[in-house]
Chains A and B, each alone.
Chain A
Amino acid sequence: MIEFVTFLVLMALGYGFGQYAERKHYRSILEREKRFRSEVLVFQTGVPPEQGQGQDQDVRLVMGSVVISVDYFKRFLAGLRALFGGRVKSYESLLDRARREAVLRMQQEASKLGAGMVINLRMETASISKGEEKTVGSVEVLAYGTAIITRDARSRFEPTRFGRATELFERA
């Protein structure tokens, strides 16, 4: 009986806080994605399209890392999925948030360095708990890439010779 009450409390807490955090996080993600969409361009290729080899630019490694924990409710749902199979929807949204957050943090770092673009975007996922029992399941998502910073301006707040990335491409 005590176990059942504990279970219900954990489920309610997991659901309440988990859903609240998820909704809040998605709002923030959408808002920041909108901001960074044109501010820091992200390419998965090694060479930015139509960019050529510029002369006056620095390259820097930038990364964004996120560690997320599973709440009890999501884990219970995933546990049920282990019986029936199918999409583990409760984890999908969690990892979706983590990936987007990691890219956003990387963009933020690039933006601070004055970069207008990040090339060669890569992502990695690592389990921290490694499936150990009696530990909270948590996962790291790491996004990293090469930030291209025009030499004349270390900050994007100062206009550069080439201007920001968008202007650069406009010219090209």
Chain B
Amino acid sequence: MQYENPEIPEGINTSNEHPLKELVWLLGGVVLVSVIVGLFLVFATNLSIALVPFSYEQEIAAPFVAELEHEEGEISAYLQALAEDMSTWLDLPSDMSLQMHYIDEETVNAFATLGGHIFIYRGLVQAMPSENALAMVVAHEIAHIKQRDPIASLGRGVVFMIAWSLVTGASGSDIGGQALGQGGLLTLLSFSRDQERAADQEAIKAVEQRYGHIAGASALFEQLEKAQQGSADAVPQFFSSHPLNEDRSVDIEQLADAHAWQTAGELTPLPGFVSRRVAE
């Protein structure tokens, strides 16, 4: 009797499927699940943000604001007065308070963050041809605070960090605390295009009510674009997460048409001491 080791048929213990095909399927599944979970988390966070009291925002922000270098002086006093003025036209709820900060740096930027703190850079004030334009920027940032965009952004960040750590099994029990304790917390908040668009609309409305026309404010975005081209900095934050400046101008024009707003009018210049100080 002839013995021989049998020839074992292939493809039983292994698969002939191309590994890249498996990769595409699995990755596709991951992306799909992530998108669904992500959308749900964004939705849930946005809903629950209304339940976070403004005073809690102020509490979170306080230690970080102290760290950021800013100047107290006549310019921040002027900005504060301008913000108070604009906030009445924006119907800012009475439990919200604003705190303007002036930063003596070239950057053409302004940002609103937690607890009603708004930071304006010298570079931005310098690029403003009129108070109307500056009022537009300030009103835009106040609108973010009114819409609770900073805390929503932070909430999304924390929720996603927790979700990520659950998926990856990262160690550490206090992940939410870590997210809240991160440096750069105030400046890293980013807003969606919808939030920006809504802030633009609120802002231009307030400017129209304050000055009786939207001259100066509607041209703001083109001026910012120009100022941006002049600076050698990386793209300032004011632009990066924002809708395209061209689109924003178009949106504002449409809004002005719809409401039959005055597009021309007398521009209010910046106070002399402000122009002098920022030019120094």
Contacts and interface: CB of A to CB of B under 8 A. Distances in A.
Interface string B1-18: 111110100000111010
* Chain B binding surface, main DSSP class: loop
A26 to B, nearest CB: 9
A89 B5 contact: no
Given A41-B3, A169-B3, A80 B27 contact: yes
A52 to B, nearest CB: 13
Contact of A81 (B4, B7, B13, B26): B26
B30 interface: yes
B5 A83 contact: no
A36 B5 CA distance: 8
B2 A170 contact: yes
A166 B3 CA distance: 6
Contacts of A33: 5, 7
Interface in A58-100: 73-74, 76-77, 80-81, 83-84, 87, 89-90, 92-93, 96
A128 to B, nearest CB: 22
A38 interface: yes
Nearest to B7: A37
B26 A172 contact: no
B134 to A, nearest CB: 35
B23 A77 contact: yes
A73 B20 CA distance: 10
Contact of B13 (A19, A76, A80, A92): A92
State which size class the interface on B falls in: 10 to 19
Nearest to A100: B8
Contacts of A89: 14-15, 17, 19, 22
B29 interface: yes
Interface in A151-172: 165-166, 169-170, 172
Contacts of B4: 37-38, 41, 166
Nearest to A107: B5
A10 B23 CA distance: 15
B30 A80 contact: yes
Given A77-B23, A77-B26, A89-B19, A96 B1 contact: no
A50 interface: yes
B19 A92 contact: no
A42 B5 contact: yes
Nearest to B23: A77
B166 to A, nearest CB: 12
Interface centre among B4, B7, B13, B19 (most CB of A within 10 A): B19
Nearest to B27: A80
A90 B5 contact: no
Given A73-B19, A89-B19, A92-B13, A50 B1 contact: yes
A50 B30 CA distance: 56
B5 A38 contact: yes
Interface of A: 15, 19, 33, 36-38, 41-42, 49-50, 73-74, 76-77, 80-81, 83-84, 87, 89-90, 92-93, 96, 165-166, 169-170, 172
30 contacts: A15-B19, A19-B19, A36-B5, A37-B4, A37-B7, A38-B5, A41-B4, A41-B5, A42-B5, A49-B3, A73-B19, A73-B23, A74-B19, A76-B23, A77-B26, A80-B29, A80-B30, A81-B26, A84-B29, A89-B14, A89-B15, A89-B19, A89-B22, A90-B19, A92-B15, A93-B14, A96-B14, A166-B2, A169-B2, A169-B3
